[in-house]
Structure 1
């Protein structure tokens, strides 16, 4: 991957303020020409972002330094975008009905106070050990954009109940 026309974004300051850099990253991605390469500088490998952009026709490379700095590069290979997007819809009736179906078979976790990327990794770790026929009930502070395609890929469904602007309840279960 040639690093001519490199556009670099260090997301560590954004994350350290407790914000999600997804919007800023995607604004840059949507403006990238075929000759430009996006470099994301972070303290961890952005696996969900890598997977999302690979599905949209990007090639990637990740370099990790001994100092714990991770450089991930994205280069457009095609103009085609994936039409297979996964979105989260708020349907309180479906949430309540499904929640009732899992009473007694729920694992509950609260990830609202965790730093990125811990909410996502915690949820994925819990889903790995979730017994068949059970659901994961998650207290979260926002829609987990990077988690959604991962859940779809792993054949999970997700419903949510919005309690306030900074409090969502997620119900995650096998499709």
Structure 2
């Protein structure tokens, strides 16, 4: 299998650890959407399971791309997610990061805007395209599917961008590691 044909290792990070959190519903939907695409190999990374141990950093390090599924708490992203980002620095370098956000009226977009400079400091490439759910609990049906078809379209746009960036940056990391000109 050639480098470009190798599956893109996509880590889907559930960034909330609160009791009663809605993140697993959103993350499961997005991960299932990504799994329908043969170019992705999906790793579900839930902070409630990995915590801040070396396992979280290893899984981010093994990924070619990351999607952070985050709620908006108090106009920002959750503290445990910030701690996880801080505890794993170099693993994020030169990797594309997409966002799936959920929350109240803003749909979690304020959380995403606060994540962008943190990820830039980690030398990750935050993607512009974002999937956002305003009033998330009402936006999903009882089976965990979004009620609006536009969500699937937004996920497709994000996954298309992630695939391009993941392949491009993986190739650059390989060339840089071998001393080839980038």
TM-score, structure 1 normalization: 0.27
TM-score, structure 2 normalization: 0.26
> Which is higher, the Rg of structure 1 or of structure 2?
1
* More strand per residue: 1
- Structure with the bigger RCO (C-alpha within 8 Å, sep 6+) is 2
